[in-house]
Every structure is written in C-alpha cells, then in structure tokens.
Structure 1
Amino acid sequence: MILYPAIDLKDGQAVRLLRGDMEKSTVFNDDPAAQARAFVEAGCQWLHLVDLNGAFAGRPVNADAVEAILAQTDVPAQLGGGIRDMATIETWLEKGLARVILGTVAVENPDLVREAARAFPGKIAVGIDARQGRVATKGWAEETDVMATDLAKSFEDAGVAAVIYTDIDRDGAMGGPNVEATADLGRAVSIPVIASGGVSSLGDLTALRDTGVIAGAISGRALYDGALDLGEALRALA
C-alpha cells in the first residue's frame, strides 16, 4: 500500500482544512515546494497535491506552487482541484504531473473522464468525496444524490488509474479513516482505491492495509502535526 503525503494549496501556502471548510484552515508551510522536498527526503514514493482555491474556482489557481513542487522534486505527483476540461488536463500532464484527479467533472461530465482516460492511459484518477456515502462536488460545497459506490462502478470500464475516496467528515479531524466504507468500495470495484480523510496514525495505515483491498492512503495533518512520522510509516508499510 502506497502512502501519499498530502500538500493542500490555498493562496500559495500549504494548509490543512477541517472537514473541507475553507474558513477553518491551518497554514503549515508558506513554501509548499520546501514541504514537498521534505516529504521526498523522508522517502515518499508519491505526492498528493490539491489546489483548494481551484476546486472552488473551477480552474487552476495555485499553478505557481504546483509547478515549483514539480521542478524541485523527483517523485511522481498527482493533482486535484479545478481540473474540469481536456485542455487543463493536457497542460498539467505536459508540465510533468504523473496523474490528474477529476472530481466534480466525474459527476457533471463523466464522458470527459472516459475521453481523458483513453487519451492518457494510467494518468487519470477519479476523486470521489462523500458525506454519509453521498458525493459532494465543487470543493465539497455542493452535495448530490449520487452514491459513491455507484459513481465508482460507473467508471469500471473507463480505464481510470485509481479512485481516491475521501470521507469528508473524517478529513482533517484526526479521528481515523472510515476503514469500513473505504474497504467496501475497494471490494465493489476492480479499480485501485486510495483512502483519504482522517488517516492520523500508524494504526490507521495498517488497518487500511490489512483490508487487502486498499491500494493507497493519503495523510496530511497527521504528518504536519507529528502524530505520524513519515519515515516510520513508510518503513512499516514496506
């Protein structure tokens, strides 16, 4: 199971939100590229980046910070937030991203996900963010009646590289991930599932790994707060 350190970008800084609330953000580093380098030096295999402003704006906002991270690190990175058309997907992949994450458009324009997955094999992931199993879009500001499992199943034949499943109520709350719901999703689809939201201890990581159906886990606040030591976690998962 791969551990993805998270760098959430707001106004050019590395922050963490509490349950997706932009008004409840904590700045952890005003130099996101330096934060990325620290994660890489600790041994991470991937980076998980989110353009929070972009998720609300519907277009890239923190591009400078993302480009600085790509220029100063040598591990693959995936990015979500504000990526809602083919031109933006192409631009980010040309700039060196290993994978783009499509969230809002997976609900509003699933054909774009399919088109992108065909055009860029292995480079398109679907971000599914849910409260009580129902998908939320536009930076989690809008809730839908779409069930997370149904959305994931709809892309079974699309060739997407991964599904990133975030339990919004767990995100940034340091209360542990929703292992059961994430594992249920992992069993329901053949697409690799990456867990996000609430991963805050080594025990959380091993619980996710031991399900046998979760391909990766994303952690943010716990790494910044020191509740989870990245080097120790990577050694344990290895």
Structure 2
Amino acid sequence: MAASHESIDVTTINWAEDAARELKAHVYTTLKLPPDLGKRVQQLYGDAERAFDDRASRRQLRVPEDDRDDLDARNGFIDDRKREWLELHTSIPADFGGPVDAPPATRLLECACAVEHAFRALCQQVLEVLARSSPPLAALVAEEARSPLPPPGARESSRGFAESMLRVYDSSFRQREGEGHYDMGLLTLIPRSTSPGLQINEAFTPEGESRAILCPPGGKQPMLRGLCVGPRGRIYAADR
C-alpha cells in the first residue's frame, strides 16, 4: 500500500522543491491548490456538464471523424461506447470545421484553456527543479525553450514530444460500466506526452497473462511521474 503524504501547498515559497523531492521518493505527490484555482476547476466541471448537455455545443466541438486518430493533436469533443470527454492540445490551434459560437461551448473552451495553462505552469516549475539534478532532462528543457511552437494548422508537434493535453470527462458517465476515467479522475492534464520517448514492453506472468509496461528506450523500469490534484482530478507527466 502506498504511503500517505500531506498535501504540498503551492502558495509556499519552496513548494516546487518539496514536490520534486516527493516525486523522487514516492513517484507521486499531492498538491493543495489556492482557492482561486480550485474554484476554476469546479467551474470547469460545471461548464463541461452544460456543454455536454447542449446539442449545439456538442455538434460544434465534435472532433472531425478524420482527426479522431490524431492522438497527439486532436481538439474537441470525443465520445465512445463507455465515455465522452473534451480533449484539447492548447499549443496546436484547433480546427473544428466551423464556427464555435454556442455560449456553453465558448465558456467551456475559455475555462479549459485557463485551467490547462495554470496547471502546466505548476508542472513546469517542478520540472525545472527536477532538471537541476538531471543533465539529460535539463538538455530537453533547454531544447524545448529554443524550439518554436507548432504553426497554425499543424496536426502534430515536431519538437520530439506531443504538446500538452487536457481532458475533462462527462461526470454522468461515472456510474456506468467502464466509468468515465476512474483511474485518473474526471480531469486529466498531461503537460507533455512523451510517448515518442517511451516504448511498451510485454511482460508475461507465470500464469500466462500479458501486461504492457511503459519503459524508457533501452530500459526496463517505468518512468511515470505523477502530480495528483484534488479528489477527482489528477495531473500525470512522464519523467523524460
């Protein structure tokens, strides 16, 4: 069983150093958010619920069918048999195939972008602390700072990693089979998706079961680093 940890208050001076230390020791940490950001997260849940319930918003925000498989670049509303969610890669300009002017949709996009930017800034502070003791990570951070953002209309990043992604799930699906996203909460932010830098290795158990394990290229150990936020929202980032 994982050890319990006290939440780290992000309003304190050395919170990023404390979070980095917890990540190294326990692979995850829990953050106590300031009231204004906590309220913004609750607003995001409400805005998402209203947009999901609005037919015009769902239609305007729906990811075009041809873009559904662009996992590192798609923007918009996605649904499948068990769940539905809004997904944004905020550094890649969204192309919804038409105007987005339904009030619930515009409010949701505005709030989601604000939440994503705020959380990404927190993760960036911790990432910079981790980079102080990791020359390879420091080199990647420096390379990112020099690399241009994707141009308007780009379908994916050329910077060696996928751009930041936010997902907010429809809470009404949590009581159905295959809950909305029970393992990561209703709100998921991946500051940088490093799937190009990870590979899936198949591990076989004595019973013959197979399990996929995310590993760094040439390595054998998973590299997951997580920032857990609130009871229903979590931030996960891969340690590059």
TM-score tier, shorter chain, comes to under 0.3
TM-score when scaled to structure 1? Answer: 0.24
TM-score when scaled to structure 2? Answer: 0.24
